[in-house]
Chains A and B, each alone.
Chain A
Amino acid sequence: MPALLRAEHLANIGRQAPLKREVVTRRDIRKYSIATGQTLRKYLDGDEGPALYHVALFWDVVELDQLTPDGVSIDGLIPRLPLERAMAGGLKIEYHRPIRPGDVLVARRTLTDLYEKQGSKGPLIFYEVTMTVETESGDPVITEKTTRLLR
């Protein structure tokens, strides 16, 4: 079977998205904590963000006309690929310090890998995005690698 990914796709490895800067609020931590069924008071009271709170904090706030018909936002970091149906992937995270209300955090996202595999029901394309989250003064908070697959 011919390879789906061509040189022009692979040339995007190393590409960076514009920096995102977000202010952490107690209200947003509380909403996230309730919605995820937390039981520890430090999360429910908004004193500290739960393990995947940064996923919500840095999810793209897109305008309605930027959503595809299936309701997904187009990730500008990822090039147009030969497969387009998004399936959930996985995350690998290192924690350097907790996220707390009042933090001003900066996220830098880089496309760090792009490859294909043959799945049991057809070809799959995988991509890896590395996101580093730091304080405004440059102290590391989180390093996260996300792998997503398309079918």
Chain B
Amino acid sequence: MPKLSDLTVGTTLPGRSYKPDNVQLFLYNAALWNAHRIHFDHPYATQVEGYPGLVIAGPLIGEWLAQCVVEWLGEDGQLTSFEYSNRKAAIIGETLRSGGTVSAVDAQRREVTIDLHVRNESDEVVAPGKATVRFG
């Protein structure tokens, strides 16, 4: 668990690697009630929409950016704000990797800002993000 006093700008978060399969993607979209065909209909995703395969849902990748923070933080603090965008489609079969870097430390307010990313195997950022956490 991180200690606020140990953190400086540039401190990196460990992150995780993800290789979701179509079962996980199905369960995720079922939990939302999301029937967008690009996530389960391979002929539609490839032939109609022109993707190379089934598209990993954008907010699922968003959740992985947030995971990068909350799994690092544990019970030592709280996520107070979080933002992200989906920049490039990620496809089932790809391995993605999350990570983060501390970009600001406000010791007085006990707040830390973190730049986040999920990258694909070509090291392209498919989703950048930013989070602010407050230490207890």
Contact = CB atoms under 8 A, between A and B. Distances in A.
Nearest to A51: B66
Given A36-B60, A38-B67, A89-B86, A70 B37 contact: yes
Contacts of A90: 62, 83-86
Contact of B82 (A71, A72, A89, A93): A93
B27 A31 contact: yes
A37 B64 contact: yes
A36 B28 contact: yes
B59 A52 contact: yes
Nearest to A67: B35
B86 A34 contact: no
A37 B79 CA distance: 18
B18 to A, nearest CB: 7
B34 interface: yes
Contacts of A51: 62-63, 66-67, 70, 79, 82
Interface of A: 28, 31-32, 34-40, 50-52, 55-56, 59-62, 67, 70-73, 86-95, 98, 147
Given A72-B35, A87-B86, 16 more contacts: A31-B31, A35-B28, A36-B64, A37-B24, A40-B70, A59-B33, A62-B33, A67-B35, A70-B37, A70-B44, A71-B36, A73-B35, A92-B82, A92-B83, A98-B78, A147-B85
